[in-house]
Amino acid sequence: MKAIRGATTVENDTTEEIKESVKELLTEIKRRNTLKSENIICIMFSNTADIRSYYPAKAAREAGFFNCALYSSLEPDIEGSLKKCIRVMVLAETEGKIEHVYLKGAANLRKDITKKLNIAVDGPAGSGKSTVAKLIAKRFNILHLDTGAMYRAVALACMKAKVDCTDSKKVKKLLQNTKITVKFENGTQHTILNGENVSDLIRTPEISMLASTVSAHESVRTKMVEAQREIAADNSCILDGRDIGSNVLPNAEFKFYLTALSEVRAERRAKENEQKGLFQPISEVLCEIKQRDNQDKSRKIAPLVKASDAVEVDTSNMTIDEVVEFISKSIQEKI
């Protein structure tokens, strides 16, 4: 007999979502461990105290698990522990290796007994990759590293030091005395340039263009890629950028390449800018986006390309939620 562990989370404490999540978790445990219903002896659930609408064991019964013993218990309300979480232990008659299953917000809960998850999302400006990556990270409870922010920080360093971003020698020299790091607080990335949090300062159209220019230099890419790989080696994470699937993490288990018509991307970017109080004519935004696409795609080192094993998603006519749903489903099916 073997004990298989698992957990999942719900976003809302509703009967419907608890039923759906329990069914998904148990189905996944059966699938990954090639279990038949008659192999399962008993299923024990515990759920956090913020789940009150429904018993996970009752949800399991309704999902068709009636030939085994089922049991639910309530966990104490422990400060700092994962919220709205349903944990499970399945006792089953099975031979060989077992696989524990941690889904959604619980995906990163037991790094010691589950595989590390690395997801690469690439695409041009305005394809939605950052917004989507942020939401996927939240759903799977993993880190989101926005690699573009690091190149933007290099551009800002050049701007502050009045170094021409096209001058590779001067940029290389400046980099030797420049420290760029990222830190994460409650899932939010802060980009730090020489000790200063520059997360907001790097979000201007001027820095966008300069980041694209400065990112073409070998010295810049070497330093940034090294830092990105270090973060990915230690954490389950989703990285978004231009060369993640093709260069930074060529062995990432999941790779997505987001595209959208340049007109749609320009419209999205103009709206984003507007929300920050920055009004720029769409024609100007479109022009900048096209110029940046061109620079990012045509540079010699690690240009923007779709990795041959990446799944391409054209987001032109999709809402953010639809893209997130599509990507989450593709990950969940293979995980």
Q: CB burial class (10 A; 0-12, 13-18, 19+) of residue 67?
A: exposed
Return the amino acid letter for 161.
Answer: A
The minimum distance between CB 183 and ligand DC, in angstroms, equals 18
Residue whose CB is less far from ligand DC, 244 or 327? 244
Residue whose CB is less far from ligand DC, 84 or 242? 242
The minimum distance between CB 188 and ligand DC, in angstroms, equals 16
Residue whose CB is less far from ligand DC, 17 or 243? 243
The minimum distance between CB 295 and ligand DC, in angstroms, equals 7
The CA-CA-CA angle for residues 160, 164, 170, to 5°, reads 95
Q: How far apart, in whole angstroms, are the C-alpha atoms of residue 256 and residue 269?
A: 21
Q: How far apart, in whole angstroms, are the C-alpha atoms of residue 302 and residue 305?
A: 8
Residue whose CB is less far from ligand DC, 2 or 203? 203
Beta bridge partners of 334: none
The minimum distance between CB 253 and ligand DC, in angstroms, equals 18
The SS3 call for residue 102 is strand
If one counts every other C-beta atom within 10 angstroms of the C-beta of residue 95, the result is: 7
Beta bridge partners of 256: 121, 311
The SS3 call for residue 114 is coil
The minimum distance between CB 313 and ligand DC, in angstroms, equals 16
The minimum distance between CB 174 and ligand DC, in angstroms, equals 17
Residue whose CB is less far from ligand DC, 6 or 241? 241
Residue 133 half-sphere exposure, CB side, CA atoms within 13 Å? Answer: 31
Which residues here bind ligand DC, judged by CB under 6 A?
125, 147-148, 151-152, 208, 211-212, 215, 241-244, 292, 296
Residue whose CB is less far from ligand DC, 94 or 131? 131
Residue whose CB is less far from ligand DC, 70 or 313? 313
Q: Residues in the chain, how many?
A: 335
The minimum distance between CB 137 and ligand DC, in angstroms, equals 15
Distance of CA 150 to the CA centre of its chain: 16
Phi (first) and psi of residue 21, to 5 degrees: -70, -40
